[in-house]
Structure 1
Amino acid sequence: MTLTFGEYLRQLRKAKGLTVNDFPGVSGPTVSRIENGSEAKPDTLRKLAATLNCSFIGMMIKAGHIMEAEALGWIGEQQDKQKGAM
């Protein structure tokens, strides 16, 4: 069974020993709403990822804001730009 983003977030939060009130810049009720199915805005995902010490891009993919292929394409473009700058 595939987890929803909210279920994934709840499991990750609990595995880190955090409560819904442990996210700077994100209210406990907001975290609870996300865990119960509300959509999380990208800015909120950035804050959650920082506190959970996990990938913001991974959170964006899990939350359905971007497709994995889009993220990989963007990463490849950035790497190509870096190579060209050297």
Structure 2
Amino acid sequence: LSKNTNFRKEEFLKENQSLKKDLEQKVAIIAKLTESNQLLKDEFFALQASYTSIEERCRRAEEERNDLIERLKDLKEKQIRFFNEQNERETE
């Protein structure tokens, strides 16, 4: 009976050691995944900030483009009026 008890005790100790080893491995994996997750979050926020900056620059460029188009239209209208006035003077 004592041999059987010692044998079972040894088996339990081996299983306990095996489970502890598995637990340590799982804890290490979780730590790596947590670190990777944080790195991805940091990269995401950096990319988001970069995107926001680019989006703002694009918005400003579009506003500037629209302003330039309006100025060009105004100048073309002035040019047309000028040429019309020149033509009227020449026909008189």
TMscore range, shorter length? under 0.3
Higher gyration radius (CA): 2
Higher helix share: 2
TM-score by length of 1: 0.24
